[in-house]
Amino acid sequence: MEVLLEKSSPTMASLKVTLTKEDYQPKIDKTIKDYSKRVNLKGFRPGKVPSHVIQRMYGKSILVDEVNNLLSNAVSNYIRENKLQVVGDPIPDRDKAAEVNWDNPSQFEFSYDLGMASDFEVNFSELPAVKRYTINVDDAELGKTNDSLRERFADSIHPEVSEAGDMIFGELKQESTEFTTRTAIPTKQLKEEALAKFIGVKKDDVITFDIQDTFTDESAIAHVTGKKKEDIGSLSGDFVLTVEDITRSAPAELNQEFFDKVLGAGQVESEEQYNEKVLEIIKGNYERETEALLRRDIENALLENISIDLPEEFLKEWLERTNEGKFTREQIEEQFEDFKKSLKLSLIKNKIADRENVKVEYPEILEFTRNMVKGQFGIYGDDDNMKETIDRVAQGYLADKERDNYTSIFNQVFDNKVMDIIRGQVSTDEQTIEVSEFEKMAKGEEVAA
């Protein structure tokens, strides 16, 4: 077997593979021998079919399969052993393949077009410093978070007199149509000019209102009347609600029950400990956000300062062929710049991973998945009662082969490990900013220097 690489440019090459009979015939002979032992043919004893019969019946298909296997291994091994920066897949020369005479096999010659990235080096010392932000989290931010959590874990109370924001329950009627139903009217979904009728009412009060002039949208009318949205237009005139109950969402009290709901049972024993823990969580959340911003800026710095040439036309043709029927050439052209950036980043990160011998082990994958599940469950602390459930969900998630979740998580862990290496070697310009400034930055707004 002979494999020769001929480069026509820094980003394009041709890989020529020559196979002689000595390369493929031993494998074919072995396969035919195996077939003769396994194939059942009328007129022959099981396992005693002569080789020449197998050759006559299956020889050509065996030859094609064995040659294709040899070619696939030869191409992939050559690329791996020579550490070629191949992008896309090797594309076989169809004209060359069409010339092969499978009926009179001897020496075979095949050719593949290779798209390659140009040579590049990753030198962290040559990269400019990247801004890294620390967010100043103060008591005001703690107060906002606590207000949000108290609303999230709010209690339901039944006041005697209604206020804006309450839910009013009762019997809804329209005597002219004999319509009647028990319902709940959310005052948050009332038009401003209609709200006054529903404020200051109490049990057994009667409210008369026009169904079409009271609510902010048709979906609210549908919810209150129990009608389908497409039937709302047929409703008209005055409806009467007899109030039976009023409910109001009251912010949760800052007590042990609330602390346990937020952080897990027994995590804290006082309001002071609770505030310390929540402040720690807020800082951790903002730190993750600033790390995400730092990650984006580091990736941009890598792209802007490391020059890599790609075979653009080759890649467009390869994408079109690979995604035939899914994307048009116009769609590929529109998205190609984003594809190029992603491909260049992947090449850079893979070079760093290879240089630093980055490996990903299963315990790391499982721990990452556990933390992901905890985030989905909304668990802030280490809740021992949920540990078994979290482990079961995490393991089940990784076992889902249809969605290939394992590969997805593997890639995320791999990417994080590479980014940690980059993060440790890229110089940063440390800056402290307020929450309001960071929120503007996250929205893409300009922030005063």
DSSP 251: P
Whole-number average pLDDT of the chain: 89
- Please give the Cα distance from 398 to 60 (Å, whole number): 42
Q: Given this model, what pLDDT does residue 38 score?
A: 76
DSSP 119: P
Which residues, listed in sequence order, are joined to residue 92 by a DSSP beta bridge?
Answer: 112
Angle between helices 329-356 and 312-322 (to 10 degrees): 110
Res. 347: pLDDT tops 60: yes
Judge whether 449 lies within some domain.
Answer: no
The answer to whether residues 92 and 171 belong to one domain is no
Residues 6 or more apart in contact with residue 306 via CB below 8 angstroms: 120, 121, 122, 344, 348
The answer to whether residues 360 and 223 belong to one domain is no
Which residues, listed in sequence order, are joined to residue 247 by a DSSP beta bridge?
Answer: 167
The answer to whether residues 165 and 73 belong to one domain is no
The answer to whether residues 175 and 312 belong to one domain is no
> What is the CATH classification number for the domain harbouring 308?
1.10.3120
Res. 57: pLDDT tops 90: no
The answer to whether residues 431 and 320 belong to one domain is yes
The answer to whether residues 237 and 263 belong to one domain is no
In the listed set 250, 267, 285, which residue is the last one of a domain according to the structure?
A: 250
Q: In total, how many domains does the chain have?
A: 3
pLDDT tens, 248-262? 988 999 999 999 988
Q: Given this model, what pLDDT does residue 445 score?
A: 63
The answer to whether residues 6 and 51 belong to one domain is yes
In the listed set 250, 281, 305, which residue is the last one of a domain according to the structure?
A: 250
Residues 6 or more apart in contact with residue 40 via CB below 8 angstroms: 46
Res. 382: pLDDT tops 70: no
Judge whether 51 lies within some domain.
Answer: yes
The encoded tokens of residue 69 equal 């296997």
Percent of the chain with pLDDT over 70: 96
Place of tokens 């990736």: 299
| Total length of the chain | 449
- Please give the Cα distance from 277 to 284 (Å, whole number): 10
Domain with 349, as residue range(s), is 124-145+258-442
The answer to whether residues 97 and 178 belong to one domain is no
**pLDDT tier at 381, thresholds 50, 70, 90:** low
The answer to whether residues 296 and 393 belong to one domain is yes
Q: Give which of 194, 169, 192 is closest to 248, Cα–Cα.
A: 169
pLDDT tens, 66-87? 999 999 999 999 999 999 999 9
The answer to whether residues 428 and 365 belong to one domain is yes
The answer to whether residues 333 and 277 belong to one domain is yes
- Please give the Cα distance from 428 to 278 (Å, whole number): 28
Res. 292: pLDDT tops 80: yes
- Please give the Cα distance from 311 to 328 (Å, whole number): 19
